[in-house]
Chain A
């Protein structure tokens, strides 16, 4: 099983500042990585797929990078609606055994 590790667990950021979230895979997943945003009481929403491609309707404030085992989600200038939990998820094996990271909570500083 590929284990996904996200850091930090909690990130305190002031509105307007930049946030950088990390996700590490226990083995290479190539670029087969997605990022999701989840707000309290809501379902997750796809933000980024294939490591760096923004999903439909996602603000350009969100950008993803990385490949192999190290990935980053950057939120360039945090808005109030961006305070949420962010999860990375890999899909790089067959038969499929998709795994999520433990999440990073982005909170208001």
Chain B
């Protein structure tokens, strides 16, 4: 069974840091682009970052550039999101998701998704 399990969320003060993890199983992790998408409480979905199979390319939404870093460890079948200089507006459930198919190019839609991990930025 293809599965993605996020962890690492929690309560952090403004200006603080947090590292999210996403453990993948049931598929060849190293063959897929992977992404992070977040959802503020009661709001819609917002794409955050994406990373190529070998980690050689990564891209971010403007609002997190310079603060967040996406990375992966293919040997551990794991995806990460290092979040620094956190702000109240970063409060959200963070989902990791897999590109739909294993192509060298980005397909651009995502299936499956993990269950999400909640990040709360508050003093």
A residues with CB within 8 A of B: 1, 32, 34, 36, 38, 42-46, 49, 55, 87, 89, 91-92, 95-103
Interface SS of chain A: loop
**Do residues A89 and B45 form an inter-chain contact, with CB atoms below 8 A?**
yes
**Contact of A32 with B108 at beta-carbon distance under 8 Å, contacts A98-B50, A100-B45 already known:** yes
**Do residues A91 and B45 form an inter-chain contact, with CB atoms below 8 A?**
no
Interface size on B, residues (CB 8 A): 23
**Contact of A96 with B45 at beta-carbon distance under 8 Å, contacts A43-B113, A49-B100 already known:** no
Cβ contacts under 8 Å, B115 to chain A: 42-43
Return A38 CB to nearest CB of chain B, in Å: 8
A1 to B61, CA, bound (A): 10
**Do residues A98 and B44 form an inter-chain contact, with CB atoms below 8 A?**
no
Cβ contacts under 8 Å, A103 to chain B: 44-45
**Contact of A34 with B114 at beta-carbon distance under 8 Å, contacts A95-B59, A96-B59 already known:** no
Cβ contacts under 8 Å, B44 to chain A: 87, 100-103
What are 10 contact pairs spanning A and B, CB under 8 A? A43-B116, A44-B95, A49-B107, A91-B106, A95-B59, A96-B50, A98-B35, A98-B50, A100-B44, A100-B46
